[in-house]
Amino acid sequence: MVSQFQTNRIMTPAISNPVVSRPVISRRQKLAGPNHHLWFNHGTWWIHYTIHLPDHTKARRRRSLHTSDPETARHLRDRILSGNIPCHYAA
């Protein structure tokens, strides 16, 4: 049976240098659906993801995207998970 989840690890360019240790965002997601890592709560979109830290621990992050528009939320989610916006900044 094929699992409905797959695990992707996203690494920023600094991670490719073994001398520099930075957190790595790990995404476990369903294979289909436009709203991976997003949920709508009381009129605001939020993102949820896990960061794998250099000391082999992990941290779960939940951040408000400060928008009620799903397209804007998806765009911000994509930028956060690609590393174009720092993990602590969501909007």
Residue 72 domain flag: yes
Residue 88 domain flag: no
Q: pLDDT for 66-81, tens place per residue?
A: 999 999 999 999 998 8
Q: In terms of residues, how long is the chain?
A: 91
Q: How far is CA 54 from the centre of its chain?
A: 17
Q: Does position 65 have pLDDT exceeding 50, yes or no? A: yes
Q: Which residues of 49-59 are buried (b: 16+ CB within 10 A; e: fewer)?
A: beeeeeeeeee
Look up the domain containing 66 and give its range: 5-82
Q: pLDDT for 15-49, tens place per residue?
A: 444 545 666 666 555 556 788 889 999 999 999 98
Whole-number pLDDT of residue 6: 46
Residue 33 domain flag: yes
The CA distance from 43 to 66, in Å, is 9
**Pairwise pLDDT comparison (87 vs 17), residue with the higher score:** 87
Residue 90 domain flag: no
The CA distance from 26 to 29, in Å, is 10
